[in-house]
Structures are given as structure tokens and as C-alpha cells.
Structure 1
Amino acid sequence: GRAFNDSFVQKEKEKLSYDLVPMKNGGVGVKVMYMDEEHIFSVEQISAMLLTKLKETAESNLKKPVTDCVISVPSFFTDAERRSLLDAAQIVGLNCLRLMNDMTAVALNYGIYKQDLPAPEEKPRIVVFVDMGHSAFQVSACAFNKSKLKVLGTAFDPFLGGRNFDGKLVDYFCAEIKSKYKLDPKAKVRALLRLYQECEKLKKLMSSNSTDIPLNIECFMNDTDVSGKMNRSQFEELCADLLQRIEMPLLSLMEQTQLKVEDVTAVEIVGGATRIPAVKERIAKFFGKDVSTTLNADEAIARGCALQCAILSPAFKVREFSVTDATPFPISLLWNTEAEDTEGVHEVFSKNHAAPFSKVLTFYRKGPFELEAFYSDPNGVPYPESRIGKYVIQNVAAQKDGEKSKVKVKVRVNTHGIFSVSTASMVEPVKSEESEDVGVETEVESQDQRPIENSSDVMLLHQEEVRKMIFFFSPTQTNEKKGDQPPEAKKPKIKVKNVELPIEANLVWQLGKDLLNMYIETEGKMIMQDKLEKERNDAKNAVEEYVYEFRDKLSGPYEKFVCEKDLQGFSALLTETEGWLYEEGEDEAKQVYVDKLEDLKKLGTPIEMRYQEAEERPKLLEELEYRLQYYATIAGEFRNKDEKYIHIDEMEMMKVEKCVSEVVEWMNNAVSAQAKKSLDQDPAVHSSEIKGKLQELNNVCEPVVTQPKPKVDSPKEENPLNEQSDYKTEDMGDDDKNSEMPQQNGECHPSDQNTISMDLD
């Protein structure tokens, strides 16, 4: 979203190891080598490539396609930068549900899990969030109620981050290396980048250790090893000017929100650079309380975005949580008045105004007119261009009587934080007979209501005010309303209709449709090329893996299964293939590697098969022998009239005996034939044949030997004395023959039942 000649871009250009070049549209391009050709990709395309990689990572973990997403964005990004990021998402084919400010995402991540937030009618809990990442410093104050979050204000230093602290270390060690080793790291970009990496590691070590920490880099430049050391106190002294800048955004935030330090309940810090002890101390000292680190410093923003995405998605059930963001910069509208060729200006959204939000402006015009949106405070915006864009309201015409037409313009800051003139409509009077066929707007106007055109020919209406003033009725509803109104409230009514007007937008830094479509097509081709390249690399890696793996096994487990002659020939082929891979075969087509692997497998597969057969065959023969003995034993017991198998039919058992006999004969022949073969020869009998015989044996014998015995019904005992008796008499043995145990209805001695005398002798 920035031009190539932007001072920020030019400053960043010095720190990069690749070339930035201007694009035809004045944007920033990156010159790279792609597919052995020089290409220039726009920053939007580079961002799209990053999003493509993130999309692939998400899809591989989720095992399903990804289309919707929420993308975080620094809260100080302007409209141009936000639109540019949305273009990058569109190039990839991602549907960005929301561009979410970093600090708002952190606040959502913090608040949605809190169960002890005050009720909506109670005083909100104020929490300040501080984020110092790699390149920027952002702070925000948020008010929390149950299931509700409102961003009260934001402040930032877009040029203060972890990399600034790294830069201080780099400058220090560059001077030390220059004086000590007579080397200039800044003369070579790659050496400088390496020093940046080592200084970043050193900074992290100093955050957890206050003693001297060494810095050692081998073969830094001209095969020279360099070394140095630094401790925390030296580091803090070196970065004193950076540490002083921490308080400015904090002061700005408190002034904007009119908060006092004692109003703040907690101070949550996130971002990698907040791990620096001096940074923590400065923040804690400002608020007069210990900082809190309950959030994951590296993932807090991403988790907030994930939660927002889940809230917006119908596929997830998430607890209700309202998020009201804030507009980071005040936005004004400029227009030409018709009276004296003067300009009218009005601030439509103040700093920290609630977002998303819509407002309606009413103009009185006889023809098309232009609105220009811009940031009211250019000095407070970290972007060289204060204009947002121009909007031409078209097809405006005077009324039939020559009077000015009433035009309503709706302006909006949407969920992405982007300003737009979303709709425009012209209010036209409607004749009574026409009003029956069209939806009309009924307005109540007194005769003395006239617009003031000199000082302000625009009426600014909030959403709530618009709802109170304007009603849309069907004809029946209109009649009902008329009947409901008391006589004294009646005023002359004018029936009108709204005619939608086209809006032509000319925005600062917007990719044209043709250019955007070209980028989308290019990205699609590169994604396909990446897929083909991955397949090619996989084929190449398969050859390399086969060479290394098989060569190791030839001198190990496969050694006995290949004759000396074949061993020498195959080893030579493996060595030759290895050399080819790193020379002329370094960059071949996928099919070349596939064919090379097939040639290797023609020699390797028989060896591998003989080894596997030698491993599996003894186990399978042992299992086959066990089953044969099992079925032979059952057949023998059947012949010996064993009661367990006497129910089996004679013919069925003969089938079992015949099958066992045939399989025994086959196994003996197979074992005999295999015994004549050496290990480096193909086997006489294969595991698959043994498995087949085992399956055949089980299919024939198992159904026969597992036949269940037929059930025999036991004879029912008759009661000769009383067939209707509810109990049975059982022989209890010699000791109980003189006992009577009548049982009826669960009672041992039913008192009200007739007992039966029985002659037990």
C-alpha cells in the first residue's frame, strides 16, 4: 500500500538483501530469480505468496480446504495499506471475513475466557494491552463487561520494535569488528544479516541472564572468526533513547481516553520485545503496578483472530461476545458548495470513534458533486498521503420545479476499518397515484423547515437519529399510522421515493481490476508450478533415498540374499546413480527420476523379496503345521468315538481327513524343494502360496470341526397330585425326606393356602 518513492520504503530498502524496484503503477516491486528467469513481483504478490504458504499449512493440519480467514493488521494501518492487504488475500482466493486490529484481537483473546467480568449495567473493567513486536509498538485501552468489549483508544509508535534494539547491538559490534578485525560488516549484506541474527540471539540471552554474554561468529568475513561480549547493563545503556520512547504512546493513550492510572485494572503485555526486562520495567513504572503476562506473548494476536473467525463462522458455536473497535485516525469530508464556490468540510469520524459505524449526510444539489475524504490530522498518520479518496455522486438532477434535490449519502467505516461512501440516494416527490406501486418514504416537514446552505449545506445524522426521523411504510401501514396520530400532531405530508445513485470512487492506492486479475492468474500458475516442482523433488528424493538405504542393507541384512557377481554389479550401479544425482542429474524432469528408480528396482526388488520371503516363510510354515496337527487330532478323536465330535457326520469328517492329507503332502514337497535352494536364489515356495494353503485348509476344516452339538429337550416332570399346583416337589436326599417345602407366590409358609398331605413312605 505504499509508493516506491515513499521515505519509509527507501529507508527499509537499505536493510534488505534483495532488490526493490519501482512498478509501473508507482508501487514497490521485488526483483527475484524464478524458474531461472528474472521476475519482478509486487509487494501484494509477495504477501499473497506468504498467505498461500499459511493456507497450505492450515489445510495440511486441518485435512480440509480453507477459504475463510481473519487477518490481523497493525492498528495504525491506513485505508490504502488495509485495501492492499485485502487485495493480497483476494489474489490467493481467501475470503477475508475481517481485517482485525492487532490490539483488538489481543483484547478478544483476553476477554472471551473471563468469567468474572462485570455485568453490562455495572462499571466496566479497564485493561490496557501493550504489544511490542519485531517492528512496532502498540497500546490500547479496552473496557470489558460481560460478553462485551469496547476499545476506548489506541496509541502507537510504528517505528519502535525489537529490531531497533537489534540494530543498536549491530551498530555497536560493527564498530568493534571494524576496529578489532579491520572488517566492515556493512560492506556485505549477507554478513550484515548474519550479524543481525546473532545479535538477536544475544538480546534474548541477555533478557534471562545479567552476566556477560559472548558473541562468537565463525568464518564471518574472509574466513575470519569474530567474537565479542555484552551484558544487560551495557545493553540498557546502549538503548537508553529507545527506552525513553516507550512512555510517549502510553501518555498519549491516557490523554485520549481521559483515564487515570488508578482506573486501570490490569496491564497485559504481549510481543517478543516485551520480554526485555528494561521494557517491562518502564511499562510497570508508568502504571505503578506489575505487568501481567497471562497471554501467550507470541500467539495472542493469532488466537484472537481465530476466535473472531469462529464467531463469524456458522460452523462453530462460540459464546456471544460483542466487539466494538475504534477508528485510529480522525476522518473528514471536503466538498464544494454551490453558493460562493467555497469549500465545505466536516469531520465525520473523530479519533477513536466506534467502528464499524455508519452515518448519513444530507446534501441539497442540482447536479453531480464530488466528496473528498482525508485524514484530519496528517501529522498523526504514519503515511505520506493524507487523502483517502474522491467519490463522485452521479446522476443528481434538480427537481421539476427547479429546486435543489435532496441527496442522502451514507458514509461508513466497515469491519475492516476502511472508510467508504457506501450508498447515495436522491429523494424525489411522488404523485399519489404513483405511490401505490412503489415503496415510498414519508417525511414530516413543516413549512418553515429550510436548509441552511451558506454555513453548512449538509445535515449529519447518526444512525439512531435516522431511525427516529425516517420511516418506510407499505400503503396499508401508512393508513394505519395516519389513523393512530392525534389531530394536533397532523402536519402536511409529502410522499417521496429514494432513487439510488451510482458512486464513482477514485481511491488512493487501489489496484485496478485488470491488474488484480492478472495477479490472481499469475498466482494460480505459480501454485501449480509449485505442485509440479514438489512432485519432481519427491521423485528425486525417492531415488536418493533408495540408493542410500539399499547400499546400507547390501552390507547388512541383504548380504546373504545376493550372489557375489550381482552384489558387485548392483553396488556399482548404486554408486553411479549417486554420482549422477549430484552432477548432470541435479535438475532433471520428474519422469527421468521415475525411470531411474524403476531401473534400480529391477535389480533391488528380487533381493528385497528373497529377504522378506526368508523372514515370513518359517513363521507361516510353522502356523500351517500347527493347524494340520490340530485338525488331524480332531479326526483321530472322531475315529475313537469321542463324545465331543460324535455328532459330526461321517462324510464331513472324511473331507477333513482328505484335506489334511493333501496339505501335508504339499507342505512336505514344498519344504523339500526349498531345502535344495540357497538364500541367494529365488524361493521354491512363496509366502503367498503358504497363506493360500492355510486359507484353503481353514475353509474346509473349520466349519466341520466347530459344528455345535444339537440341543436335546429334557423331559418335563409331571405332577400326579395336582396339575394346577404352583410348586414342585424335589427329592432333597435322605436327610430331607421328612420335610415339606411348599413355595407359592414367593412365600415359604403361606398361612392362607391349603396344604397338601403327601405320603412320603
Structure 2
Amino acid sequence: MSVVGFDFGTHSCYVAVARAGGIETIANEYSDRCTPAYVSLNEKNRSLGNSAKNQCVTNFKNTVSCFKKFLGRKFSDPSVQQEIKNYLKPYEVVSGPGDKAYMKVDYLGDKQMFTGEQLTAMMLNKLKETSEMALKTKVVDVVVSVPVYFSDVERRAMIDACQIAGLNCLKVMNDTTAAALSYGIYKQDLPAENEKPRTVVFVDMGYSSLQLAVVAFNKGKLKVLSVASDPDLGGRDFDQVLINHFIAEFKTKYKIDAKTKPKAYIRLMQECEKLKKMMSSNTQKIPLNIECFMEDKDVTGFMQRSTFEELATDLIQRAENAFLNILSLSKLSPEDIYSVEMIGGSSRIPSVKNLVKKVFGVEPSTTLNADEAVARGCALQCAILSPTFRVRDFSITDCQPYPIMLYWTGGMEEDNTMEVFPKFHQIPFSKMLTFYRKEPFQLKAYYPSDVAISVQDYSIGSFTVNKIIPTKEGESSKVKVKVRVNNHGVFTIMSASLVEKIEDDAKSEQEQPMEVDGESKEDKKPEVNAESAQVNGQNSDEQENQEKEKKGGSGKKNKKTTKMIELPIESRVPQMSTQELNALVEKENQMIMQDKLEKERAEAKNAVEEYVYDMRDKLCSILETYTTEDERSKFARVKSLQLEDTENWLYDDGENCLRQVYIDKLAELKKTGQPIVNRHSEAQHRPKAFDDLGKCLQMIRKFVELYENKDEKYEHIDAADVEKVKKCLNEKAQWYDKKMNAQGQLKDFQDPIVLASQINQEKQQLFSTCSPIMSKPKPKVEPPKEEKPAENPNDGTKDKAAGDAKTETEPTNAQSSEADPKDTNPIPTEPKAEMDID
């Protein structure tokens, strides 16, 4: 199972993977860990990531960025209109079916419209491809990050985008929570469970937003206490300050207006982003120079950090207000803050760092990698959720950024609403609500109108509980409804059950308890309160029974058995249907196939072009002597011949041909060119092949010579075998001399008589025939067994003398010139032919 985390940002994306050695942020095909969130649509294919960003000037009308801002939003949404008005959109944003925001571009020769979900799915596919190349395996399960301010509809839109891309999103995770997980999992000095929790503030200033979170850490526990955000306070807003300044300056100085020319505006935007980064580490004036900016005019300007901070006073003040707000929401003082961790690319702005010390009273910490912390946290979360990885136990409790209200129909009371999940309520979390109804009823979830959320529509969804019938007595039936904010931060109704009680005189069964999803013992208390609350103005049976027990019991002998009947729920939420998802998945797969076909076509065309240039260079250098006169006149000259004609064809009629046409053209060129290349290649490898065969022949001749000279080393080899070696030697030697002489009489431009592969084959045949005979081992001879000397009843003088005489007649190892010097055992002298001689 793959363990992958995606930090999907507005301007850039990062991919992290969990491996046995830890968490690693991986690079894309450009060896860059940062993949720009750009999609460029063309006449034949799509470009994604770095290649798309490179086209943002040349193909600006069809290159889309910042499409994350349109996820799940309607065109009429004020935030969408503000995005179009305040930030340059060189591409066209229009209203489509259902008032959705669509990006209108030219693709495959037609005007086509794409939603934010579709464009997000394209980028997710790109990130999936990057991770699959690194892991060498298929990627399906992922954890994807989103800003903390994302509402229910935006989170559902991200889940839809993952499904379009063929990904199973295990969790949609808040950016700040992912960063907090990175911090907590690697910190070894966290307080123990019985100690006071450590409170850490996470400041995430990215390209388009500022996000804040207050997180409490214990050993092995992470709990998000409160969050705050400013969706329109990020790096691009500081860039916009510089852009507006230089537009006004160039109007006065050069009489040109960059707003009227999108290409010029995009170039200025890119240069201002670079200038902002340079000012983060320099205090002196920094120049800004752009050649041929507009109307063939070169422009120049200067900016100093102090001047920049004066221009950005409003942004800095907004950031300070956000810092003060998070302290107020969490009800903490600066003394309660252990540290402030800063992440996000724009957190490097010095004025923002100074604000941290001013408001929180501590120096900003850079323990985490500002760019990669979120991706690493997502990968860690994926590893925790994966059954194949063992990760140090770590409990993660996130919080709901907005309160959630619930309205129901069919009640008799005046107030049919309640706050089911307060602001900053922990998630994931479930609650059980009890209703009394005789017929189906509807539940509507929504955000309070007095709360500022990121979208215009405050509705979350409506849910109809069906197939409710009265009791046998005609009274209202008891219905239990389980509501939940799940792992993604999405509100849903998990189940609805009709409670039917049956009288039973026999041995009674206890009432079947409903499953309550709580994350800890502390979490169960609010669930019980929610279940026993007077949702419809009537007390529940549990309360009545408790009251009777307090009064001394009811005195009834019969007990009741509870039967739970599941009820169907009809959900209407702002999420794609199965049919819509399947259609978009099919369209995405078609675009992937089109990209693949275009890539193969381009590779085939490049192969032809590369062959033309390569052969033209080599024919004037290393291949010059290997061409015939006919080939030079037909193929190798520059003007009006095959190579020149092919080059002209590539940039004229052959510009947009099918892949097979290029394959055929390359084959046609190789009919003439490949023999020349082969002659050169053979000339490089043939001498060594001849040399190796000659050495092999020389070695075998030496063997035959030694054998004929009665060399003791080869006396054990049969004469018939040696004759076999002689025969093979003569055949190969004649072949060698014949081919060597014939080849030596040819010119370089003539086709060789013999190939290097044939020479190597002859050598192998010679070696396989002769080597087993030449290396045949001598038969081993067992030494004779030693006889025990006869017993002598005398003093042993005779035997000693005989023994001494025997010692003199048997030569020692040192005395025998034919003995093996390594053998320390006595060697018999007869028969001499059977001695093992080295």
C-alpha cells in the first residue's frame, strides 16, 4: 500500500511519501520538489506543472492557475467575483450550468469549459504520476491538505476531484493540522500526559491566505484548540503591492500601462515576486529590470525593504489583527504560548516575523521546513491510517472551524433549530438525536448567517428520513438519527433508526444500545446529553424510566425488547452524483490518453529530427571514410538531397503528421544511413575480435606443441582427443587467415566480409571444443597402505638397521624432483607413471 501525502496549494504543490527510512519529499521530472499548480491547454495535449508554468506568457489565454479558489463555488459568489476583479485572470472565467464557475479555454481546437474540480483533478493526476515514479508502484490512497477555512462544500469538491483523478482520499486534512503533526511526531521533548500540555501557535502564510491554529501537545496527543484565517492575505497580496507601485511608476516614467497588456503584466508579476524574495534577505535598494517590456521599451525601477513595508502597512495591520484574534478565540495570553511555528512560503517576510514577536512575545521558530511541512504531515497521517506501516502512537484531534446548525420539519414546537456542533468542536465526532414522528421528515444543516465563511451559500445540505410509520397505538414513533462530522470535516447523517418496543413475558432482553462514535471517554458525555435532550419537546423513555427508578420502581413484571429498524435517508448535498463523476472520470481518462498519444507522436518526430542532425554531423567527421561515392551523392551532401529534404519536410508538410508517418520516414533514412553506421561500428569492434581469436589459436597451438613434446602435464590426455583439437585448430586457423587477409584488402567504405559477431562466434566454438580436452584433470592415485613392522623378540637392532636402510632407499619430498612440493606425505617411487605431478 502506498503512503503518500499531497500539499495541494493555490500556487504550488508538494508530494511526500513515507518509507522505511522516514518521510521524504520527492522531486518531479525537473528535479524540483515544488510543482507549480498550473494547467496549460493546447491544440493537441495538456501541459501540467513546470511545463505549464513555462507557457504562462506564451500561451497565457489557455494557461490556468489559482483554480483552487474556484473549488465548489458558484460564479455569482462574491468571493469569485472578487478573485476575478482583484487578481489578473488572463484566461476567461464564465458562468456555466448550475451557476458554477468555469474556466473557458481553447483545447483540441475547440472552446471548452472546465470546473475547478476538473482542473484540480488534472493536477492531482500529475502529483500521482510523480509519486508513482518515485515509489515504482501504483498510488491510490492519499491524504490531501486544504485550508482551515474551507467549508463543507469546498471539502466535498476536493473529494470529488480526488475521485476524478482515480485517488482514494483517506482524509482531507487542514494545512495547520498537518504541520502540527509534523511538529509533534518528531519532537522528543513533549510533556508527559500528567503534565501541563504545551501550547504551540502555528502561523501558515502561503501564497493566497493566512492560517492560524492553536494546538495543545501532550506525549502522543495533538489537539487543535482553535483556528482562524484570512483567505485574502498571502504572498500574492504583498506581490500586488509591488505590482501596483511599479505600474504607477512606469505610467509616469515611460508612459505605458501594464494593465492593458496581459503578457507585460504577467512578466511584471513574475519579477515582483522575485524582488519580494530578495528583499527578505537584503536591506539595500534592489533593482528591477525588464527588457522589451512594452512597446519595445526597457524599464527599470528600485525598491527598498523599508519602502515596501510602508506600502504594505494595511496588509501588516490585517496580519496583526489576525494574530490578536487567535489569542482572543483561544482565551490565552502570550505567557501561555510555548512557541510560534511559522510555515508557508510567505512566512519569510521580515515584517511578518516581527509581528510574531510583538504579539506573542516569543521569537518565531523555524523548526519545520516552511515549504514542505504540510506535505510531510499529510504523509505521516497517511502512514498512521495505513495498516502496512508502524508509526509511533499519536492521537490527532482536529476542530470544526464553523458552528453547524440543524433545522427539522414536522415538529409541534416553535423553535425547530439547534446548534448541533458548536464552533471549534472536536472532529471527527458523532451525536445521536431522538425524534418522535408519525411520517417522514426533513433535516437541514447550515452555517449561521452571522458567521463569516468562505462561500456565499450557507446551506450544507438537506436530508429526508423516509418510511416512518406510527406505532400500533397510532402514536408517534421514536426515531434515532446519528449525525456526524467525519474525518474530512464534512457533515453527514450516518443513519436513522426506528425504535420499536415489544412486550415480552419471557426472559427479557436488554435494550439494544446504539453505536456511539466517540473519540475518548470525555467525548461520550455530550453525546449522551444530545440523545436525552428534548429535541421535540417530549422526554425520552430513558428519562421516564430513570425518574420511575428514583421513585421506587414501576412494579411491572413484564419487560420490553427493543427492535431497531434502519430507515432510508435521501441526501441532497452539493456534491457530484455517481453519473456525473463517472462522466468526468471518463473525460479525464480520454485526456490522459490524448496526452500519451501526443507524447509518442512528438518522440517519433524528434527521433527523425535528431537522426537528420546527427548523421549530418557524423558524415563530415567520423563516418566520412565509410561512405561510398553513391552514398555521398545521394545521402551525405547538404544541399537538395535526402537529409536536407527531410529537414525541410519536418518544418513544412511534416509538422503535424501521425506517429506512424515519422516512424516510416526514419526507417527510410536508415536504409541508406544504417550501412554506413554499421561499417564504422564494425571497424571499431572487429580488430579486437580478431585479436582475441588469434590469442586463442596461439594458446591451443602451444598445448599441441607441449603434448607432442611428451610434456608430463598432458601425458594423461588421449591421443584421439588431441587429434580432435588439432583438427579444430587447423579449421579455425585457416578461416582466421582467410578472413583476415580478405578483410585487409577492403576499403573503409566497402561492406565488411566478416562481422565482429561472427569472429566471436568462431572463437566460442573453438574454445568450447578444445577447452574441455586441454583442462582434463589427471586421474588421482591412492597411496599404498603402510605395513606394520614385524615384532622382534631381540633388542631390535636388526629391525632398526632394516628400517634405516628402507629410509635411505625411499626418497623424501626434498630429494625427489618429481614430487609435489605442497604434499607433505611420503610418495612412493613406483610406478613412476602414476605419480601425481604438478
8 Å Cα contact 2:499-2:563 kept in structure 1? yes
> C-alpha displacement at 1:456, in angstroms?
4.1
CA separation of 1:460 and 1:521: change in aligned 2, threshold 3 A: farther
> C-alpha displacement at 1:215, in angstroms?
0.7
Q: Which residue of 2 aligns with 1:714?
A: 783
SS at match of 1:116: coil
Q: Which residue of 1 aligns with 2:9?
A: none
Q: 1:348 aligns with which of 401, 420, 442?
A: 420
Q: 1:125 aligns with which of 192, 198, 215?
A: 198
> C-alpha displacement at 1:5, in angstroms?
1.0
Q: Which residue of 1 aligns with 2:572?
A: 506
Q: Which residue of 2 aligns with 1:759?
A: none
| Pairing 1:321–2:415 present | no
Q: Which residue of 2 aligns with 1:739?
A: none
CA distance in 1, matches of 2:454, 2:415: 26
Q: Which residue of 2 aligns with 1:47?
A: 120
Q: 2:597 aligns with which of 514, 520, 532?
A: 532
- What pairs up with 1:228-307 in 2 under 5 angstroms? 228-307=301-380
CA separation of 1:535 and 1:379: change in aligned 2, threshold 3 A: same
> C-alpha displacement at 1:51, in angstroms?
1.1
Deviations 1:257-291 (A, max 9, x none): 22222222221111110111111111122221211
Deviations 1:681-727 (A, max 9, x none): 1111111110110110110111111122222222233342689xxxx
What amino acid is the match of 1:496?
T
CA separation of 1:634 and 1:490: change in aligned 2, threshold 3 A: farther
Structure 1 stretch 168-177 or stretch 657-666: which is displaced more?
657-666
| Pairing 1:557–2:628 present | no
Alignment root-mean-square deviation, CA = 2.8
CA separation of 1:490 and 1:218: change in aligned 2, threshold 3 A: farther
SS at match of 2:472: coil
CA separation of 1:208 and 1:568: change in aligned 2, threshold 3 A: farther
Structure 1 stretch 559-568 or stretch 542-551: which is displaced more?
559-568
- What pairs up with 1:520-599 in 2 under 5 angstroms? 520-571=585-636, 572-599=641-668
- What pairs up with 1:414-433 in 2 under 5 angstroms? 414-432=486-504
CA separation of 1:131 and 1:245: change in aligned 2, threshold 3 A: same
| Pairing 1:211–2:284 present | yes
8 Å Cα contact 2:499-2:565 kept in structure 1? yes
What amino acid is the match of 1:38?
K
Q: Which residue of 2 aligns with 1:370?
A: 442
CA distance in 2, matches of 1:377, 1:458: 30
CA distance in 2, matches of 1:431, 1:16: 69
Deviations 1:223-252 (A, max 9, x none): 211111111111111111111111222222
8 Å Cα contact 1:207-1:275 kept in structure 2? yes
> C-alpha displacement at 1:319, in angstroms?
2.1
SS at match of 2:603: helix
8 Å Cα contact 2:286-2:304 kept in structure 1? yes
CA separation of 1:457 and 1:639: change in aligned 2, threshold 3 A: farther
> C-alpha displacement at 1:513, in angstroms?
3.2
- What pairs up with 1:107-126 in 2 under 5 angstroms? 107-126=180-199
CA distance in 1, matches of 2:279, 2:541: 56
Q: Which residue of 1 aligns with 2:223?
A: 150
> C-alpha displacement at 1:407, in angstroms?
0.9
Unaligned runs of 5+ in 2: 1-71, 515-530, 547-551, 793-799, 809-838
8 Å Cα contact 1:118-1:124 kept in structure 2? yes
Percentage identity across paired residues of the two chains: 50
Structure 1 stretch 571-580 or stretch 534-543: which is displaced more?
571-580
8 Å Cα contact 2:433-2:535 kept in structure 1? no
| Pairing 1:494–2:565 present | no
SS at match of 1:441: coil
> C-alpha displacement at 1:380, in angstroms?
2.6
8 Å Cα contact 1:542-1:597 kept in structure 2? yes
CA distance in 2, matches of 1:142, 1:539: 55
SS at match of 1:152: strand
8 Å Cα contact 1:72-1:305 kept in structure 2? yes
> C-alpha displacement at 1:494, in angstroms?
2.3
CA distance in 2, matches of 1:392, 1:583: 64
| Pairing 1:10–2:48 present | no
CA distance in 1, matches of 2:669, 2:697: 41
Q: 2:236 aligns with which of 139, 163, 179?
A: 163
TM-score normalised to structure 1 length:
0.87
What amino acid is the match of 2:261?
K
SS at match of 1:525: helix
SS at match of 2:435: strand
8 Å Cα contact 1:337-1:343 kept in structure 2? no
CA separation of 1:595 and 1:549: change in aligned 2, threshold 3 A: same
8 Å Cα contact 1:361-1:460 kept in structure 2? no
CA separation of 1:165 and 1:226: change in aligned 2, threshold 3 A: same
Deviations 1:171-197 (A, max 9, x none): 000011111111110011221111100
CA distance in 1, matches of 2:382, 2:510: 37
CA distance in 2, matches of 1:270, 1:85: 22
CA separation of 1:312 and 1:705: change in aligned 2, threshold 3 A: same
| Pairing 1:93–2:166 present | yes
8 Å Cα contact 2:182-2:380 kept in structure 1? yes
Q: Which residue of 1 aligns with 2:772?
A: 703
Deviations 1:398-451 (A, max 9, x none): 211122111111110000000111111111122439999x996379xxxxxx99
> C-alpha displacement at 1:315, in angstroms?
2.6
Structure 1 stretch 402-411 or stretch 308-317: which is displaced more?
308-317
CA distance in 1, matches of 2:252, 2:774: 94
Structure 1 stretch 61-70 or stretch 666-675: which is displaced more?
61-70
CA distance in 2, matches of 1:581, 1:658: 59
CA distance in 2, matches of 1:73, 1:435: 54
8 Å Cα contact 1:440-1:498 kept in structure 2? no
8 Å Cα contact 1:331-1:374 kept in structure 2? yes
SS at match of 2:97: coil
| Count of residues paired in the alignment | 699
TM-score normalised to structure 2 length:
0.79
8 Å Cα contact 1:435-1:495 kept in structure 2? no
> C-alpha displacement at 1:88, in angstroms?
0.9
CA distance in 2, matches of 1:70, 1:304: 9
> C-alpha displacement at 1:460, in angstroms?
14
> C-alpha displacement at 1:377, in angstroms?
5.5
What amino acid is the match of 1:186?
K
What amino acid is the match of 1:493?
K
CA separation of 1:427 and 1:123: change in aligned 2, threshold 3 A: same
CA distance in 2, matches of 1:560, 1:379: 83
| Pairing 1:646–2:646 present | no
8 Å Cα contact 2:410-2:437 kept in structure 1? no
- What pairs up with 1:330-349 in 2 under 5 angstroms? 330-336=403-409, 338-340=411-413, 342-349=414-421
CA separation of 1:458 and 1:709: change in aligned 2, threshold 3 A: farther
- What pairs up with 1:657-668 in 2 under 5 angstroms? 657-668=726-737
> C-alpha displacement at 1:665, in angstroms?
0.8
CA separation of 1:715 and 1:265: change in aligned 2, threshold 3 A: farther
